[in-house]
Structure 1
Amino acid sequence: GADYIGVGPIFSTQTKEDVCAPVGLNYLDYVAKNVHIPFVAIGGIKRETLPQVLAHGAKTVCLVTEIIGAEDIGQRVREIQAIITFSGAQA
């Protein structure tokens, strides 16, 4: 009965304590092909890895540390939006 699920952590993350080991891009592939409700890819995703995550089927992503740790948060969000737009996914 869930409306959506979180998938991750995709990569290693320090945002939360006691988090499980990264599930990786192969697991994201599995979810994209087999889960028929929306999902959010989360965990250790950075600007540099975002194109990979999107290419592996994520349509919705969560980048916490990448945004809140930025010197210029507005600029960082615009950079992330540009990556998402370029990939053809929706922001």
Structure 2
Amino acid sequence: MDNKFLSRLYLVVSREACRGRDIVTVTEQAVMGGVDMVQLREKNLSVQEFTETAIQLKNMLDRYNVPLIINDNVTVAKASGAYGIHVGNSDIPPSQIKTQWADCSMLGYSIEYLEQLTNAEIAFADYLGVSPVFSTATKTDTVTEWGLEGITQIRKLTDKPLVAIGNMNESNAFDVIKAGADCIAVVSAICGAKDPLKAAEVLRNQIERAL
């Protein structure tokens, strides 16, 4: 795995996913349970609200030395002092991000088609999000359900770190790592859990067992 990318359990968090609970509190519990990278994904907030939430999260995450990634918003990423940004196939291209934000330390890029692996944009990505591995209600605008076979196939075609996302939970984390993913990205299995710390611990244990 790329020395720059060391995450094993990656939380994708939003206010909505936290179901009325405080986003900073839920995220901190997840970090205490083993989450080592956090992406803030807010599609419905104003830039100001998104930035304010990002700064609150970053202030907490800095205490744990956990990097903050912003989903698809260079303005918020730069304003909040985030570590990096994550974009999808239909978002701003990675090459343009590098132009707009030269100091970006981590750039994630979601892979929804195998053809993307031969796209010039791939070269600008520090890690690839395999999205979704299994279909999920969290993200309904995707075209491919990769499954375990898809992860194995992508693993053979690239040496970039692979982050598996899409209905990841304690029942499939072990198999997904065994299939070739370097990291598991989780939304509802942690954000929606009664005890986010415990949920993160269980997932982290599954991942470590598979390595």
Q: Which interval holds the TM-score relative to the shorter structure?
A: 0.7 to 0.9
1:52 is displaced (CA, Å) by 1.1
Alignment partner of 1:57 is 2:180: yes
Aligned to 2:134: 11
Q: Any stretches of 5+ residues in structure 2 without a counterpart?
A: 1-123
1:81 is displaced (CA, Å) by 1.1
1:70 is displaced (CA, Å) by 0.5
1:3 is displaced (CA, Å) by 1.4
Q: Residues 1-91 of structure 1: matches in 2 within 5 Å?
A: 1-88=124-211
* Richer in strand (by share): 2
Aligned to 2:50: none
* Counterpart amino acid of residue 175 in structure 2: Q
Q: TM-score, normalised by structure 1?
A: 0.87
Q: TM-score, normalised by structure 2?
A: 0.40
Q: Any stretches of 5+ residues in structure 1 without a counterpart?
A: none
Quote the RMSD (CA, aligned, Å).
1.2
1:20 is displaced (CA, Å) by 2.2
Q: Deviations over 1:15-64 (max 9, x none)?
A: 12322241211110011121121121111111101111011011111011
CA contact (8 A) 2:175 2:210 kept: no
Name the larger-Rg structure: 2
* Counterpart amino acid of residue 133 in structure 2: I
The secondary structure found in structure 2 opposite 1:44 is: coil
Separation in structure 2 between the aligned mates of residue 21 and residue 38 of structure 1, nearest angstrom: 19
Task: Give aligned pairs, total.
Answer: 88
1:65 is displaced (CA, Å) by 1.0
Which 4+ runs in 1 deviate beyond 6 A? none
Higher relative contact order (CA 8 A, sep 6+): 1
